[in-house]
Structure 1
Amino acid sequence: MTYYHARTIECAFDDAVERVTAALAAQGFGILTDIDVAATMKKKLGKDMAPYRILGACNPAMADRALALESRIGTMLPCNVILREVGPSRVEVAAIDPVASMGAIGNPQLADVAQSVADMLTKAVDAV
């Protein structure tokens, strides 16, 4: 079982970030965190790497449902979506599969929420 859904798009990295943010918004997600991994690696380790960002996406209605079913589900929130440059004007976009990550919890009610979120994240990635 894979733990993410991904696709590669052809555009500049900053344009990809804008497109992903818009596609997530169309599915009801806001961005709670935006981690520039490449900048952090440069600052902390002096290491150069290709652009790589982690967007922490949250759909408030889905988060509310999940929290009502599992009070500690916040350990798995928000849903991470990555963007990484894989070549000139080529960016991979990948989103976590909540079904895979939350399956370990073993709460069948949570499985329905996880599937709904997975469907929304897949639609967002595919729409980019």
Structure 2
Amino acid sequence: MSYTLDRTIADADFEEVDARTRKALMDAGFGVLTEIDVKATMKKKLDKDIDDYRILGACNPGLAWEAIGQEPKVGAMLPCNVILRSVPGGVEVSAVDPRASMAAIDNDELKAVAAKVRDMLDQIVAQI
């Protein structure tokens, strides 16, 4: 099982893909709770250079509420990370597949929520 939902966008630069990603997330009811500029962090902490790489921690509050209600410790697996990274030929967007990340938790109701979130993230990635 793959653990990410992926798409490479060739017709836009990194910042445009970032803006399109944030809009697609917002339109689907997700907010960006956290943002990590991996490129800047690696330069600052290790003096290493990498191509553009950003991690967005996305959350749909209603679905997070539902998941936490089913499994209180699931917050350790939240939010849903979406990464943007420069690759040859464009910018790759990869969203975590919640079914893969929740597979270790033996809770059928939670797996149903994870499937809903996965479908939403799959649509979001396709729309970017």
The alignment's TM-score, normalised by the length of structure 2, stands at: 0.97
Q: What do the CA deviations read for 1:70-116 (whole angstroms, capped 9, x no partner)?
A: 1110000000000000036x100000000011011010010110000
Say which SS state the counterpart of residue 105 (structure 1) adopts: coil
The residue aligned with 1:125 is 125
The residue aligned with 1:58 is 59
CA distance in 1, matches of 2:28, 2:120: 6
CA distance in 2, matches of 1:81, 1:105: 21
CA distance in 1, matches of 2:59, 2:9: 23
Q: What do the CA deviations read for 1:24-51 (whole angstroms, capped 9, x no partner)?
A: 1111100000100000000000000000
* 2:44 paired with 1:35: no
Moved over 4 A (4+): none
Structure 1 gap segments, 5+ residues each: none
Q: CA RMSD in A?
A: 0.7
CA distance in 2, matches of 1:43, 1:49: 12
The residue aligned with 2:6 is 6
Identical pairs, percent: 54
The residue aligned with 2:108 is 108
Structure 2 gap segments, 5+ residues each: none
The alignment's TM-score, normalised by the length of structure 1, stands at: 0.97
CA distance in 2, matches of 1:25, 1:124: 10
The residue aligned with 1:19 is 20
* 2:75 paired with 1:82: no
The residue aligned with 1:44 is 45
CA distance in 1, matches of 2:104, 2:49: 35
> What is the number of residues matched between the two proteins?
127
CA distance in 1, matches of 2:126, 2:34: 21
Say which SS state the counterpart of residue 6 (structure 1) adopts: strand
The residue aligned with 2:74 is 73
